[in-house]
Amino acid sequence: MKKSYYILLTITATAAVLYLLGNWVGRSFGLNRQQVIRNIHEAYGRATDAFEAGQTKDLAAFFRHELDEVNLKRIKFRLDTVSLHSDSIVLQQDLRYFSDYRKLLEQHYTFVCPVNDTQGVHAYIQNLRAGFIGKLLYMFFGTIVALGLLLFAIRKQVDIIRRQDELARMREDFSYAMVHDMKNPISSILIGLKVLRSGKVDDKPEKKEKHFDILEAEAQHLLALANKVLTISKLEHGQLLLDKNWIQLHPMVDELVHTFTAKAEKPITFQVDLQEEGVCADEEYLKEALSNLIDNAVKYSKDTIDIQITSCLSGQYTQIKVRDNGIGIPLAAQRIVFDKFERVITRNEDEKKKVSGFGLGLNYVMNVAREHGGYVSVESIEGKYSEFTVSLPLPAENEEANPED
């Protein structure tokens, strides 16, 4: 969920906690035993006044109504008939001070209301404590629930803040890596331009042509970096339109093998076994995705590089697999290896720092696969190998597949 949702939840929970705590504290002081006694006494006084004035004939019902009006719905009582000639009866006029009816109600009785010349009625309060304990319990449990929601919202916000800090760190690493990787091509271009402008190679066509080749290669490298960032942004926002056609895998893979073999700085061998020779995809983006997987295998390789590229059918998908004999990926890192700005975690942090890249390659592969309606997965054992599988759906039956020989 979004951060704004948890902020709103935190504000709501905080308001609820403050409200409930305020009410709870207020109730604990306001609805204490003395206040409950006062409310019961006044409610019974209003009920008897109405009864004596002839406004009601049902004293019990009116007393119940008056108790409900002062939030004493849990109070239970019964009306008892007593003789007015008894020495133990207490009439309303006998109660002049709070201490008088407090002592009476602490014995669970109210004053006597005469009903004729010889008899009267008084109320026996059956559960005096319910008047204040019940309300406090409701407020207490409500506060516990609100505190739980508050703690949940705070925890979520802490997780979001931690994740944002992590993203900020990764963006900082990305910026550093991007500047570092762009610095060399830019430096090479500037040096090449300086040499060409000086005229030192005007009479040496071969060297001049070599400098132009270097300039073009470095410019293409910079353009590829910029295009990769832009493509990922478009993929994430669903703004990229794919031109899917039936394409042959052999020419694409052969070109990639030739390119990486030519520029490899370590001994490298490729084993290619394409059981499924065609796939329905956008050739440009699929080629770049496979290039990223091969480049990843080269970056995190050992002294010698052995890369296997295979393809096969699996259900309704064409699977293209790139397997290496590199350092592998720790199990804990496999679930985040496709995240943006993430880079493969090695045991040797110094070795990790030497590996160039922005942490965009595998994220690019994932987004390209998703845009095709497929997915990418990884299988790896640390210190032995990593195998990435790009699964792309077969074309629908009504789509024409035109494999080329």
- 3-class secondary structure, 338: coil
What are the tens digits of pLDDT across the range 136-181?
566 667 667 777 777 787 777 778 777 777 667 666 666 666 666 6
What are the tens digits of pLDDT across the range 229-268?
776 666 666 666 788 899 999 999 999 999 888 888 889 9
Does this model's pTM top 0.85? My answer is no
- Residue 69's nearest CA partner among 46, 51, 98 is 46
What is the model's pLDDT at position 248?
A: 94
What are the tens digits of pLDDT across the range 270-326?
999 999 989 999 998 899 899 889 988 888 888 899 999 999 999 899 999 999 998
Burial 333-360 (b: 16+ CB within 10 A, else e): bbeebbebbbbbbbeeeeeeeeeebbbb
| Dihedral sign from CA coordinates of 216, 218, 219, 225 | positive
* pLDDT (mean) for 200-215: 82
DSSP string for 31-63:
TSHHHHHHHHHHHHHHHHHHHHTTS-S-HHHHH
Q: CATH number of the domain at 245-393, out of 3.20.20.70, 3.40.50.2020, 3.30.565.10, 3.40.50.170? A: 3.30.565.10
* pLDDT (mean) for 113-133: 80
Which sequence spans correspond to the domains of the chain? 3-133, 245-393
pLDDT band, very low/low/confident/very high, at 215 (cuts 50, 70, 90): confident
Whether the CB-CB separation of 278 and 244 falls below 8 Å is answered with no
Whether the CB-CB separation of 214 and 185 falls below 8 Å is answered with no
Cα 230 from Cα 337, distance rounded (Å): 20
Residue found under tokens 């096969």? 312
Q: Is residue 357 predicted with pLDDT exceeding 60?
A: no
Task: Give the lowest-confidence range in 15-19, 331-335, 376-380.
Answer: 15-19
Q: How far is CA 91 from CA 49, 113, 121, 142, in A?
A: 13, 7, 10, 41
Q: Calculate the average pLDDT of the chain.
A: 79
